[in-house]
């Protein structure tokens, strides 16, 4: 017989005045955290930059193209490097990259600041663009397969987000982040962080009895975001 599901522990129940006092005490720390983030962003804007080859080859919907063309004429480019598993099924593609890319949807606010967002996939264009279409993503998509080692420049940690700046025909790399640094792409993390149970991931510092479920990115053998597409009949045999 299956064991009955365990009811997770809950925060203590107090009167509203006590609760408000606790929230306001935490708010002081939250504001300090926000100001620290502002200071880090100010330092980021003062970083030097390094030139990269504007002619670095990419493959897009119209065939061979370049890193410079991926700017779409704008002054800056934010590029996410999407991992690709050659020869693997749709279900076996990277759940982390699927998670992050699924949450970058509305690009007009980037464009209003003269910024282009694009995905540089490490797989071949035709295969990876088919995955993009299955997922229903509309972000600009390129294959960086032949130049990914040059663009990654020895950075081997999982996930990679890179910012570039263009001056006429020259391209410069201004910032990059990897690992948990790419969490800025995922507003769902920030929203989960303000709930009582947080992300429910094992590494979090939570009270005893809090639920832990590390399956958010992958559910029943697939990246979680694939299931709504499959139920909608967007792909048969995936």
Q: If residue 21 lies in a helix (H) or strand (E), which one and from where to where? A: helix 16-44
Average pLDDT score over residue span 105-113: 96
pLDDT on residue 237 = 65
User: Cα–Cα distances in Å, from 128 out to 86, 90, 131, 182, 229?
Assistant: 10, 10, 5, 21, 16
pLDDT for residue 3 is more than 70 = no
Instruction: Summarize pLDDT for 111-133 with one digit per residue, the tens.
Output: 999 999 999 999 999 999 999 99
How far apart CA 121 and CA 142 sit, in angstroms, is 6
Average pLDDT score over residue span 24-45: 98
Average pLDDT across the chain, whole number: 93
pLDDT for residue 4 is more than 60 = no
Average pLDDT score over residue span 218-234: 82
Give the phi and the psi of residue 67 in degrees, each rounded to 5: -60, -40
Instruction: Summarize pLDDT for 171-193 with one digit per residue, the tens.
Output: 999 999 999 999 999 999 999 99
Q: By C-alpha distance, which of 151, 152, 150, 130 is closest to 141?
A: 130
- pLDDT above 70 coverage of the chain, percent: 97
Average pLDDT score over residue span 71-92: 95
pLDDT on residue 5 = 60
Residue 81 three-state SS: strand
Class assignment of domain 54-184? alpha beta
Domain range list for the chain: 54-184
pLDDT for residue 137 is more than 90 = yes
- pLDDT above 90 coverage of the chain, percent: 83
Q: Which one has a higher pLDDT value, 134 or 233?
A: 134
Query: Does residue 221 contact residue 213 with C-beta atoms inside 8 Å?
Result: no
Instruction: Summarize pLDDT for 53-68 with one digit per residue, the tens.
Output: 999 999 999 999 999 9
pLDDT on residue 230 = 83
Q: pTM of the predicted model, to two decimals?
A: 0.90
pLDDT for residue 1 is more than 50 = no
């Amino acid at each position: 017989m299956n064991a009955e599901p365990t009811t997770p522990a809950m925060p203590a129940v107090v009167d509203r005045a006590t609760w408000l006092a606790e929230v306001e005490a935490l708010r002081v720390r939250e504001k300090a955290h926000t100001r620290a983030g502002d200071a880090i962003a100010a330092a980021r804007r003062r970083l030097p930059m390094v030139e990269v080859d504007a002619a670095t080859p990419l493959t897009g919907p119209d065939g061979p193209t370049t890193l410079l063309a991926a700017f779409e004429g704008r002054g800056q480019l934010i590029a996410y490097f999407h991992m690709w598993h050659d020869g693997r099924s749709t279900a076996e593609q990277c759940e982390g990259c699927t998670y992050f890319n699924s949450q970058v949807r509305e690009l007009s606010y980037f464009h209003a600041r003269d910024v282009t967002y694009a995905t540089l996939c490490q797989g071949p264009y035709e295969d990876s663009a088919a995955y993009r279409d299955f997922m229903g993503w509309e972000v600009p998509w390129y294959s960086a397969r032949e130049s990914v080692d040059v663009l990654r420049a020895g950075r081997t940690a999982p996930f990679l987000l890179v910012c570039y700046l263009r001056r006429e025909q020259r391209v410069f790399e201004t910032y990059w982040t990897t690992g948990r640094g790419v969490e800025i792409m995922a507003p769902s993390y920030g929203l989960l962080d303000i709930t009582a149970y947080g992300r429910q991931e094992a590494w979090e510092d939570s009270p005893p009895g809090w639920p832990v479920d590390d399956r958010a990115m992958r559910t029943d053998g697939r990246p979680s975001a694939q299931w709504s597409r499959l139920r909608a009949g967007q792909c048969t045999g995936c």
